[in-house]
Amino acid sequence: MTDQRTPLVEMKNVSISFGGIHAVDNASVDLYPGEVVALLGHNGAGKSTLIKILSGAYKRDAGEILINGEPADINNPRDAKKYGIETIYQTLAVADNVDAAANLYLGRELRTPWGTLDDVAMEAKAREVMGRLNPNFQRFKEPVKALSGGQRQSVAIARAILFDARILIMDEPTAALGPQETAQVGELIKQLKKEGIGIFLISHDIHDVFDLADRVSVMKNGQVVGHARTQDVTKDEVLGMIILGKCPPKAIPGPGAMQVA
Amino acid sequence: MSTATIASQQDTPSLKARLLGTPSVGPLLVLVAFCIIFALTNPRFLATQNISIILQQTVIIGTLAIGQTLVILTAGIDLAVGAICVLGTIVAGKLVNLGYDPVFSMGFAILLCTGAGLAAGSLIAGLRLPPFIVTLGILGILTAALRLISEGGAFPVRDPFLAWTGNTMKVGGFVLTYGILIMLALYGFVWYLLNQTKWGRHVYAIGNNPEAARLVGIPVRRHLLSVYLLAGFIYGIAAWLALGRIPNADPNAMQTANLDSITAVVIGGTSLFGGRGGLIGTLIGALIVGVLRNGLTLAGIDPLWQDLVTGILVIIAVALDQMSRRRN
């Protein structure tokens, strides 16, 4: 990329292994403000693991993370949130027994001047944010486990955008959504992009994300196959990267690219 | 999901959903049913004097069950409740009998109980050992240690301050002990913590889904530690209430306290799987056990039947909890 701006996020030579298996091996990715980068790869390619290092869920064994060009010290999810990194996990990470508003504010509850929970304010704000995402959603008083998969996913997405994120990580964000809700998430991504938020979209299905992404980074067996601007490559070429590790001419190859003899 | 189903969602949940979502309604109905049955079969049951007795008999288990509720809400279990409480009675009694100031003695004993809770919490949160095993181990250690300290036997503790919680006052015909008031105050305080504060909400979140709690940035291990610490403090208060009821420190006492406190919590509708239930249910659960024992005694039924009926109630309560989990 010829862009002279400082990347919002730069993950450099990041590695992590679990019991001798290199889940992520010397991987580097970056993300600019207002950009959507799709992180693609098969199940088990290491994309979720790489991104969980950025969100603080895992601690890296090696490598560094730069936020706005400055080294960032991310050791747990709280640290990541301090840098404005919000994550929508594939598992959603919601507490089933409490309602939507309580889930949106879990860990960052609003409080009254007396120090008690301000459920009224939290519900009002929840209605506002959920209204943006899923205008039909009305079940604010019920525990989240009573909600449909799509509604639960809306709750997880709302929680991520509630706190003025600068960096948004979405791990398979539309996995549980129907076509209409998926379209809504697509609209939301475009809107957040305009606000200058950088977004990592993780997916194992290229069709979900190709049209939304500015760039793709492809992983295979824990390594980065390569990076490419979506305008420079076709879906078939990206599929070749995902399946074979074969880098097309206009992509920048990474350590995991198939060596052409 | 189709638009039709979205549009048909109601803002307010149905009555049935609300009843299912309020776990203390079922136990309350059970409590009322028992009271009606006992009142019909024995007119003495509803005498104010008898009601006072029921409350007094409920004080120790009722107080221990507060700590047990906190632990079970985090999906843990505490098998050392009785042993920690006995630790409190023995240490306070021993110190007073050695001539130490009674307030200091009781305060020190409560502090030790809090420390025992802290030790359990450190092993559970710090080393990630299962609560069942940790508290079972503490039960064994304390039981042996307390018999060694007290040289095997029980000893009388005669001190007006330690016995103060057993003193009575009359409120509109009811004879209440200060112990009952302390228990109710503790219920009020911990209810407030659980329902009105961030701390309480995080207790539920951790019991419900510890990984989600961690990912949203809740310091899960530190929070678990605070839960066991508070539980230990409550067991220490229960030790004071126990000395008010029986001015005797007995290393062999409270052997059924573990099961009884778990019974109160479970009958009260708190899920053994964590994250669901609450203190109002536990108070009702403790009263159910108290009413049952008292009513059956008044009816002249062999005490063995009390344990049998309590056992059946626990199993029914757990079965209902399991069924409502599967429903979702």
Can you give the pLDDT at residue B5? 38
**Considering just the CA atoms, what is the radius of gyration of chain B in Å?**
21
Burial (0-12, 13-18, 19+ Cβ within 10 Å), A110: middle
User: Which chain A residues are within 8 Å of B213, Cβ to Cβ?
Assistant: 95, 106-107
pLDDT at A176 over 90: no
What is the pLDDT confidence band of residue A182, given thresholds at 50, 70 and 90?
confident
Tens place of pLDDT per residue across chain B (328 aa): 333 333 334 445 555 555 555 667 888 988 999 999 999 988 899 898 899 999 999 999 999 999 999 999 999 999 999 999 999 999 999 999 999 999 999 999 999 999 999 999 999 999 999 999 999 999 999 999 999 988 878 999 989 999 999 999 988 878 899 999 999 999 999 999 999 999 999 999 999 999 999 999 999 999 999 999 999 999 999 999 999 999 999 999 998 898 889 999 999 999 999 999 999 999 999 999 999 989 998 888 888 888 888 888 889 888 888 887 776 5
Looking at residue B18, its pLDDT comes to 56
Helices in chain B by DSSP H: which ranges?
3-7, 15-21, 25-41, 48-73, 81-97, 102-121, 131-149, 160-163, 178-196, 198-208, 210-215, 220-245, 257-267, 279-298, 303-327
CA-angle at B275, arms to B270 and B278, nearest 5°? 40
Residues 6+ apart with CB under 8 A from A175: A90, A153
Tokens 């030579």 — which residue? A13
The domain locations on chain A are: 1-84+166-261, 97-163
Pick the residue of A106, A120, A139 with the most B CBs within 10 A to test the interface with B by mutation. Answer: A106
Fold of A1-84+166-261: Rossmann fold (3.40.50)
> What is d(CA A120, CA A123) in angstroms, rounded to the nearest whole number?
5
Chain B nearest C-alpha distance from A63 (Å): 22
Q: CB contact, 8 Å: A87 with chain B?
A: yes
| Residue B275 touches partner A, C-beta closer than 8 Å | yes
A120 touches chain B (CB under 8 A): no
Subunit contact B198:A76, Cβ cutoff 8 A = no
Closest residue by Cα to residue A218 from A186, A190, A244, A189: A244
pLDDT attached to residue B173: 79
The letter for the amino acid at B46 is L
Q: How many other C-beta atoms can be found within 10 angstroms of the C-beta atom of residue B35?
A: 18
Query: Do A105 and A154 form a contact (C-beta atoms < 8 A)?
Result: no
Phi and psi angles of residue B288, each rounded to the nearest 5 degrees, phi first: -60, -50
**What's the pTM?**
0.89
Determine, for residues B275 and A97 on separate chains, whether the beta-carbon distance falls below 8 Å: yes
pLDDT for the residue B14: 59
Nearest CA of chain A to the CA of B10: how many Å?
Answer: 7
Helix, strand and coil in chain A, % to nearest 5: 30, 25, 40
Could you tell me the residue ranges of all domains in chain B?
Answer: 23-327
Predicted confidence at residue B172, as pLDDT, reads: 81
Q: What is the ipTM of this complex?
A: 0.86
| C-beta atoms of A109 and B198 within 8 A | yes
Please name the residue of chain A whose CA is at the shortest distance from the CA of residue B214.
A77
What is the interface size between A and B, counted as CB pairs within 8 Å? 102
- For chain A, the C-alpha Rg in angstroms (whole number) is 19
Which of B2, B201, B219 comes nearest A102 by C-beta?
B201
Residue A202: half-sphere exposure toward Cβ, Cα within 13 Å: 23
pLDDT-derived band at A66 (thresholds 50, 70, 90) equals: very high
Strands A70-71 and A85-88: unpaired
pLDDT score recorded for residue B6: 38
Specify the pLDDT at position B17: 55
Give the integer Cα–Cα distance in Å for A99 and A91: 17
Contact residues, B window 59-118, toward A, CB-based 8 Å cutoff: none
Report which residue type is found at B59: V
- What distance lies between CA A224 and its chain's CA centroid? 17
Phi and psi based region of residue A92 (left: phi greater than 0; alpha: psi -120 to 50; beta: remaining): left
| Confidence bin at A211 (pLDDT 50/70/90) | confident
**Which residues of chain A have a CB within 8 Å of the CB of B2?**
178
**Phi and psi at residue A220, in whole multiples of 5°?**
-150, 130
Least confident of A53-57, A208-212, B248-252: A208-212
Asked whether the predicted pLDDT for residue A129 surpasses 80, the reply is yes
pLDDT of residue A209: 85
Find the CB nearest B12 among A109, A137, A141. A141
Question: Is residue A186 within 8 Å of A212, Cβ to Cβ?
Answer: yes
Q: How far is B208 from chain A (nearest CA, A)?
A: 6
Amino acid of residue B175: V
CA B90, B95, B99, B105 dihedral sign is negative
Secondary structure (DSSP) of B51-114: HHHHHHHHHHHHHHHHHHHHHHHTT---S-HHHHHHHHHHHHHHHHHTT--HHHHHHHHHHHHH
How far, in whole angstroms, is CA A54 from its chain's centroid? 9
| CB proximity list for B172: less than 8 A, separation 6 or greater | none
User: How large is the angle between the packed helices A149-161 and A119-133, nearest 10 degrees?
Assistant: 110
Q: Average pLDDT of chain A?
A: 90
**Residue A182 in contact with residue A192, Cβ under 8 Å?**
no
- Top CATH class, B23-327: mainly alpha
Percentage with pLDDT > 90 across chain A:
58
With 50 as the cut, is the pLDDT of residue A170 above it?
A: yes
